[in-house]
Amino acid sequence: MTYCVGMIVDRGIVLMSDTRTNSGVDNISVFKKMFHWSVPGERMIAVMTAGNLATTQAVVSQLEERAKVPDERDNSLLTAPSMFQVATDIGRLLRKTIAERQNANGEKGKGRFTASIIVAGQIAGMEPRLFMVYPEGNFIEASHDTPFFQIGETKYGRPILIRGYDREMSFEDTVKLLMVSFDSTLKANLSVGLPLDVMVIGRDEFAPIHQHRVMHDDPYFQAISSGWGDALKNAFHSLPDYTFYSE
Amino acid sequence: MTYCVGMIVDRGIVLMSDTRTNSGVDNISVFKKMFHWSVPGERMIAVMTAGNLATTQAVVSQLEERAKVPDERDNSLLTAPSMFQVATDIGRLLRKTIAERQNANGEKGKGRFTASIIVAGQIAGMEPRLFMVYPEGNFIEASHDTPFFQIGETKYGRPILIRGYDREMSFEDTVKLLMVSFDSTLKANLSVGLPLDVMVIGRDEFAPIHQHRVMHDDPYFQAISSGWGDALKNAFHSLPDYTFYSE
CB proximity B233 to A under 8 Å: yes
**Hey, where are the domains in chain A?**
3-237
Task: Give yes or no for a contact between A46 and A203, defined as CB atoms under 8 angstroms apart.
Answer: no
Note the residue count of chain B. Answer: 247
More confident residue, A231 or A22: A231
List, for chain B, all residue ranges whose pLDDT scores fall below the cut of 70.
246-247
- Residues in A touching B163 (Cβ below 8 Å): 187, 228-229, 232-233
CB proximity A227 to B under 8 Å: yes
Q: How far apart are CA B20 and CA A233, in angstroms?
A: 29
ipTM score of complex: 0.85
Are B220 and A235 in contact (CB < 8 Å)?
A: no
Taking only the tens place, the pLDDT of each residue in A22-42 is 877 778 899 999 999 999 999
CB proximity A213 to B under 8 Å: no
Interface A–B counts its CB contacts (< 8 A) at 123
Q: What residues pair up with A39 in beta bridges, in sequence order?
A: A43
Q: Match domain B3-238 to its CATH number in 3.60.20.10, 3.20.10.10, 3.90.640.10, 3.50.50.60.
A: 3.60.20.10
CB proximity A160 to B under 8 Å: yes
Q: How far apart are CA B149 and CA B16, in angstroms?
A: 11
Is A246 a residue whose pLDDT tops 70?
no
Are A159 and B238 in contact (CB < 8 Å)?
A: no
Q: Hey, what amino acid is at B27? A: N
Are B241 and A173 in contact (CB < 8 Å)?
A: yes
Taking only the tens place, the pLDDT of each residue in B39-76 is 999 999 999 999 999 999 999 999 988 878 888 888 88
- Residues in A touching B156 (Cβ below 8 Å): 155-156, 158-159
Tell me which residue in B159, B175, B224 faces A187 most closely, judged by beta carbons. Answer: B159
Q: How far apart are CA A32 and CA A49, in angstroms?
A: 9
- Residues in B touching A231 (Cβ below 8 Å): 235-236, 238-239
A67: Cβ–Cβ under 8 A, 6 or more apart, which residues?
A: A61
CATH class of the structural domain A3-237: alpha beta
- SS3 sequence of A131-158: EEECCCCCEEECCCCCCEEEEECCCCCH
Q: What residues pair up with A30 in beta bridges, in sequence order?
A: A20
